[in-house]
Amino acid sequence: MISPLPGDLVDLERYPVLDHSAPGRANLMAALRAQLARRGAAILPDFLRPDATARINHEIDLLLPRAHREDTWGTPYLELPDESCPDDHPRRTAVRSVTWVMAYDLMPLTSAARALYEWTPLMDFIAEVLGRERIHRYADPMGALNLTSMVGGDVQGWHYDATDFVVSIGLQSGTSGGEFQCAPFLRADGDEHYDDVRRILADRGDDKVSVFPIVPGTMMIFAGRDSLHRVSPVGGSTERRIMLLGYDTKAGTTSSDLLKLVRYGRIESLDPPADWPQAGEPW
Ligand SMILES: O=C(O)CCC(=O)C(=O)O
Ligand SMILES: [Fe+2]
């Protein structure tokens, strides 16, 4: 299959990624920035066109046999528990994460998910929502772009990301649960706010937490490095599927070997990216 044109994947009438003088663009940006500041995430419903969502779901069907089963206990700081902290300290508290993860380097060069992530106008559009002059793609060859699938019982525990910003695009809602829950900018001005983190980990932090359902085609921009977040337990047999695009304010940001091992089951990335399936296979 040939690579799609990334602009064909997006509803450009509603989201004028390429047209900087489109009427309404300034109002759209102002509204998205206000959402980000207030609730921790800017929401762009129907960002992907339905045929693009269907295509990326088909790519997941083909990639799932190569997915890694992340199944781990870890702290919200993506580190091993720090035994020198008091028993109930967030740096010592482990939370469970169970998810099927498909790494960036598994995605064929013709993949629509890859084409969208590698489209520089999209990165520039996201930077504008974030009020940044420019942002950089996450330099982690496995973590920069992920596709994930979660089934009944799967969960992503409360954590901070290794990259400044994450953009998720919903591809399929699960039967139930699987909401994105986020305490916006909890880590601020060099203060970890451990008391709030402790409350949230103990399910007593609802006053701090915004809840977002996963809707196919909806893009969500959030500041994952400073906003504590999780995916609530998924129920039922329908997969919850999402695409995660990583960005950072600095060039060259990557993740720790521990995180790579837990999330992808390996430290070494494939180089160059996989060129499967072979000619003739229905990609
Ligand atoms: O699946 C989501 O909505 C977010 C997942 C997440 O936070 C992560 O993978 O770091
Ligand atoms: Fe995250």
User: Does residue 115 form part of some domain?
Assistant: yes
C-alpha of 81 from chain center: 24
DSSP 6: G
CATH of the domain at 219: 2.60.120.620
Strands 228-231 and 156-159: antiparallel
CA of 157 to the centre of ligand 2 (A): 9
CB atoms within 10 A of CB 204: 11
For tokens 């994460």, the residue is 97
User: Burial, 34: exposed, middle or buried (Cβ in 10 Å; 0-12, 13-18, 19+)?
Assistant: exposed
**Taking Cα atoms as reference points, which of 202, 210, 207, 225 lies closest to residue 179?**
210
Number of domains in the chain: 1
The reported pLDDT for the residue numbered 280 is 44
134-165: buried (b, 16+ CB within 10 Å) or exposed (e) per residue?
A: ebbbbbbbbbbbbbbbbbbebbbbbbbbbbbb
Ranges of residues in the chain whose predicted pLDDT is under 70:
1-2, 272-283
Task: Look at residue 203 and tell me if it is in a domain.
Answer: yes
Q: Where does ligand 1 bind, in terms of residues with CB under 6 Å?
A: 148, 156, 161, 168, 180, 229, 231, 242, 244
Of all protein residues, the one whose alpha carbon is nearest to atom 10 of ligand 1 is 161
In a domain, 213, yes or no: yes
Burial of 132 (0-12, 13-18, 19+ CB in 10 A): middle
Counting ligand 1 atoms within 8 A of each CB, the residue from 155, 159, 229 with the most, and so the one to mutate, is: 229
Helix, strand or coil for residue 259? helix
User: Residues 168, 246: contact at Cβ < 8 Å?
Assistant: no
Q: Residue 239 contacts by C-beta under 8 Å, 6 or more apart in sequence?
A: 149, 150, 151, 172, 174
Counting ligand 1 atoms within 8 A of each CB, the residue from 138, 140, 148, 221 with the most, and so the one to mutate, is 148
What b/e readout covers 269-282, taking b as 16+ CB neighbours within 10 angstroms? beeebeeeeeeeee
Domain membership flag for residue 273: no
pTM for this entry: 0.94
**What per-residue confidence (pLDDT) applies to 273?**
67
Other beta carbons within 10 Å of 27: 9
Measured from the Cα of 180, ligand 1's closest atom is 3
Q: Is residue 187 part of a domain?
A: yes
Which residues sit opposite 185 in a β-bridge? none
Instruction: Give CA–CA dist 165/41, Å, rounded.
Output: 10
- Residue in 141, 138, 63, 140 with CA at minimum distance from that of residue 102: 63
Q: Which domain holds residue 124?
A: 40-264
In 3-state terms, what secondary structure has residue 183? strand
- Residue 276: what pLDDT? 53
124 falls within a domain: yes
Is position 10 within any domain? no
Ligand 2 centre and the CA of 246: distance in Å? 10
Given a contact cutoff of 8 angstroms between Cβ atoms, the answer to whether 91 and 283 are in contact is no
Which run of H or of E encompasses 27? helix 25-39
Could you report the per-residue pLDDT of 105-119, keeping only the tens digit for each?
A: 999 888 999 999 999
Residue 11 lies in a domain: no
